C-alpha cells in the first residue's frame, strides 16, 4: 500500500495543490525503504507524521518540515504544463554572485545569511518602511503559482512558486504619483559571495520595472517553491518572479526596493545594452544578437524532446499584453 | 621507435580520443547529460575539438624540449583528425539541435551572428587539412607546400578560441585558461628556437625552421 501511494506522487497529472515537494517525496521513498527493513514500526511512524519522522531519519537533508509554507490556490497559476523537477530547479541556476556555472550556486550559496533579513522600501513613497522577512511572510496569504520561466539563454522551466503579488507590499508604502519606476537591489557581500568577480557585473545586482509592470498581479514577490521556503541558490529568502520577462529581470535575494521617477540602471543592461534591454519581455520576434529567440529548450527532457516554441510574453499576453500596446517592441526590447 | 611500439602506443591514444564520444553516447542513452542535454552535447563536442587541436599544436614545442621526445610526431595527425571529428560533431549538433536542419536558419546565423561565423570558419579551415592529412597528399603537395598549407591550423584554433569568447556573456572570463594555454603554445615555438640557438652559442638564428 505504502509503495503504491508513493508512485501516485510521481505522476505529473495531479492538481498542483497536491504536488508533494520532490525532496519530501525522496524522504518518503527513503522512509519506505527503511520501513520495509524495520517492519511495522516504521509504517506506524509514517502514520504518526511522515514529515517529522523523515526529518529525524534524514537530518542531513536540506529541506526540513519546519520550512514548509502554507499556501492557498491562485487563479493566476499556469495549467497544462509538466513541472520541472525540484532537482533541476535547484541545481541549474544563474546566480552570478555564487559563480557563473549553473551548478555553482547550489554548491556555494549555503553561506547566504537569510536570517535576520529585511527589505528597505524607500524613494517616492508616502510611507517608507523596512519590512522584516517574517513580517512579509504574514503580510498576505501565500499563494502557489505555477509559472513558465524563460531564460534569455533559450532554456525554460515550469516552477511552482510560492508568494503573493508584489502590489500587496507596494500598497502598504503608498507610492506617490511621481513614482514611475521601481528598482530592486539584491544582497551583496563579497565576503559571502566570493565568486562575484567571475563576471564583469557591477554589484549589487540591480533590476527594475515600470510602475504598471510592478503593479500587475502576475508580478510575484516570491518566498518559496515546491511548497517550501526558497533554497538559497534560488534567491532566498525573498525574490521577484516576473514570468513574462527573461529570467534575469527577476532579482534574487532582495534587500531594497526603491520607487523612482526615472528608469533605474539595471545590471545586465549595463553590462551589454545591445543584448539585454530594460524591458526584456520574452519575445520570439526579437532576436538576441547571438541567437534567435523563436525556440527554447525545456530543462529535464531528452535532447531530442527539449524543443518548444517560445510564446509572446512567455504565454502571458492576456494578462500583460495591454501594458505595451502601441510600443515598438523591437526598439524597446 | 619500432613500428610495433608505435602501433602499441596508438591504442591508448585512440582510446583516450574516443572517450569523450563514448561518454556522450552512453550518457545520452542513460539520460545522464544533465538538466540541459542539448547544451551539454554542443559544449562538450566543442571543448573536445578545441582541446585536441591545442594538444596537437603542443607536440612540436614538446619535441623541441628533448630529442628523446621526437617520437611524439607520430601522434600529431591522429590528434588533428580527432579534433576535426569533434569539430564536425559540434557542427552537426548546431545544424540539427539549434538550426533544426533549416538551411535558411544556418545562412542567417552565419552571416548575422559573428560567433557562429568565426566558428564555422574555424571548422571550414580544418576541412582541407583533414583531406590532405594522408601520406599520399604530403607526397603530392611536397613537404614545403604541405607545411605551408597546414599552417592554417593556427588560424583555425585562434578562430575557435574567438568563437568561444564571443559565445560566452560579455564580462564572463571562462575561456581565459584556454587562452593562456594557447598563448603559451604559440610562444613555445619562438622560445624553444631561441633557447636552441642560445645553447649552440650561435647568435644568428640560422637554424630556424
Domains belonging to chain A, first-starting first, are 2-67 (no CATH), 86-324 (3.90.420.10)
Three-class DSSP category at A121: strand
Does residue B33 sit within a domain?
yes
Q: Does any CB of chain A come closer than 8 Å to the CB of residue B136?
A: no
Spans in chain A with pLDDT lower than 70: 1-66
Cross-strand bridge partners of residue A131: A119
CB A230 within 8 A of CB A187: no
Cβ atoms of A132 and A117 within 8 Å: the answer is yes
Distance from CA of B123 to the nearest CA of A (A): 19
Residue B13 counted as domain residue: yes
Nearest neighbour of B38 by CB, restricted to A199, A271, A306: A306
Predicted TM-score (pTM) of the model is 0.81
In a domain, B209, yes or no: no
Establish if B101 touches chain A: CB-CB under 8 angstroms: no
What is the full per-residue pLDDT of chain B (209 aa) written as tens digits? 788 888 888 899 999 999 999 999 999 998 899 999 999 999 999 999 999 999 999 998 888 888 888 888 889 999 999 999 999 999 999 999 999 999 999 999 999 999 999 999 999 999 999 999 999 999 999 989 999 999 999 999 999 999 999 999 888 888 999 999 999 999 988 887 787 788 776 655 555 54
Print the domain residue range for B67.
3-168+175-192
Per the domain annotation, does B197 fall within a domain? Answer: no
Does residue B201 lie in a domain region?
Answer: no
Put simply, whether B41 touches A (Cβ < 8 Å) is yes
3-state helix, strand, coil in chain A (%, to 5): 35, 20, 45
CB A179 within 8 A of CB A323: no
A201 interface with B at CB cutoff 8 Å: yes
Reported ipTM: 0.81
pLDDT at position B71 is 85
Which backbone phi and psi does B191 adopt, to 5 degrees? -65, -45
Q: Is B35 in Cβ contact with A303 (below 8 Å)? A: no
- Please give the Cα distance from A56 to B130 (Å, whole number): 62
Number of domains in chain B: 1
Minimal C-alpha gap between B56 and chain A (Å): 28
Residue with C-alpha cell 520577462?
Answer: A245
> Would B199 be classed as within a structural domain?
no
Q: What are the tens digits of pLDDT across the range A11-62?
A: 344 444 444 445 544 443 443 444 333 334 433 334 444 444 444 444 444 4
Chain B contact set for A289 (CB, 8 A) = 113
- Nearest Cα residue in chain A from B113: A290
DSSP A21-79: PHHHHHHHHHHHHHHHHHTHHHHHHHHHHHHHHHHHH-TT-S--GGGB---B--TT---
Amino acid at each position: 500500500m505504502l509503495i503504491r501511494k508513493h508512485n501516485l506522487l510521481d505522476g505529473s497529472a495531479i492538481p498542483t495543490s497536491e504536488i508533494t515537494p520532490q525532496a519530501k517525496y525522496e524522504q518518503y521513498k527513503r522512509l519506505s525503504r527503511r520501513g520495509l527493513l524495520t517492519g511495522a514500526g516504521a509504517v506506524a511512524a509514517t502514520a504518526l507524521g511522515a514529515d517529522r519522522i523523515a526529518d529525524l531519519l534524514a537530518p542531513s537533508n536540506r529541506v526540513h518540515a519546519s520550512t514548509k509554507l502554507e499556501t492557498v490556490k491562485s487563479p493566476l497559476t499556469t495549467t497544462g504544463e509538466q513541472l520541472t523537477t525540484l532537482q533541476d530547479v535547484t541545481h541549474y541556476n544563474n546566480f552570478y554572485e555564487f559563480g557563473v556555472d549553473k551548478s555553482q550556486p547550489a554548491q556555494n550559496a549555503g553561506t547566504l545569511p537569510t536570517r535576520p533579513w529585511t527589505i528597505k522600501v524607500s524613494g517616492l513613497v508616502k510611507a517608507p518602511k523596512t519590512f522584516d522577512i517574517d513580517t512579509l511572510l504574514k503580510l498576505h496569504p501565500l499563494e502557489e503559482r505555477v509559472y513558465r520561466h524563460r531564460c534569455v539563454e533559450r532554456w525554460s522551466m515550469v516552477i511552482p512558486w510560492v508568494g503573493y503579488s508584489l502590489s500587496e507590499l507596494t500598497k502598504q508604502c503608498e507610492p506617490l504619483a511621481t513614482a514611475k519606476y521601481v528598482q530592486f537591489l539584491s544582497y551583496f557581500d563579497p565576503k559571502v559571495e566570493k565568486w562575484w568577480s567571475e563576471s564583469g557585473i557591477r554589484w549589487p545586482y540591480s533590476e527594475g520595472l515600470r510602475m504598471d509592470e510592478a503593479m500587475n498581479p502576475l508580478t510575484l514577490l516570491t518566498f518559496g517553491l515546491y511548497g517550501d521556503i526558497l533554497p538559497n541558490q534560488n534567491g532566498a529568502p525573498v525574490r521577484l518572479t516576473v514570468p513574462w520577462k527573461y529570467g534575469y529581470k527577476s532579482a534574487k535575494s532582495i534587500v531594497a526596493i526603491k520607487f523612482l521617477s526615472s528608469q533605474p540602471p539595471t545590471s545586465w543592461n549595463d553590462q551589454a545594452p545591445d543584448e539585454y534591454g530594460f524591458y526584456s519581455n520574452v519575445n520570439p520576434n526579437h532576436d538576441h544578437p547571438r541567437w534567435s529567440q523563436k525556440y527554447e529548450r525545456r530543462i529535464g527532457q531528452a535532447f531530442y524532446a527539449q524543443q518548444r516554441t517560445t510564446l509572446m510574453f512567455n504565454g502571458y499576453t492576456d494578462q500583460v499584453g495591454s501594458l505595451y500596446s502601441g510600443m515598438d517592441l523591437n526598439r524597446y526590447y | 621507435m619500432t613500428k610495433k611500439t608505435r602501433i602499441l602506443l596508438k591504442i591508448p591514444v585512440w582510446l583516450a580520443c574516443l572517450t569523450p564520444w563514448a561518454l556522450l553516447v552512453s550518457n545520452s542513452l542513460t539520460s545522464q547529460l544533465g538538466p540541459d542535454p542539448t547544451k551539454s552535447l554542443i559544449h562538450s563536442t566543442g571543448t573536445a575539438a578545441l582541446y585536441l587541436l591545442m594538444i596537437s599544436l603542443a607536440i612540436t614545442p614538446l619535441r623541441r624540449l628533448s630529442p628523446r621526445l621526437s617520437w611524439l610526431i607520430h601522434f600529431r595527425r591522429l590528434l588533428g583528425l580527432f579534433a576535426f571529428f569533434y569539430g564536425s560533431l559540434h557542427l552537426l549538433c548546431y545544424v540539427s539541435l539549434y538550426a533544426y536542419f533549416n538551411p535558411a536558419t544556418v545562412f542567417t546565423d552565419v552571416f548575422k551572428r559573428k560567433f557562429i561565423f568565426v566558428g564555422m570558419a574555424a571548422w571550414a579551415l580544418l576541412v582541407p587539412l583533414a583531406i590532405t592529412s594522408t601520406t599520399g597528399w604530403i607526397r603530392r603537395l611536397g613537404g614545403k607546400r604541405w607545411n605551408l598549407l597546414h599552417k592554417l591550423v593556427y588560424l583555425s584554433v585562434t578562430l575557435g578560441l574567438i568563437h568561444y569568447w564571443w559565445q560566452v556573456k560579455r564580462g564572463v572570463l571562462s575561456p581565459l585558461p584556454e587562452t593562456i594555454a594557447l598563448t603559451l603554445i604559440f610562444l613555445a615555438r619562438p622560445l624553444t628556437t631561441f633557447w636552441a640557438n642560445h645553447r649552440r652559442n650561435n647568435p644568428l638564428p640560422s637554424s630556424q625552421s
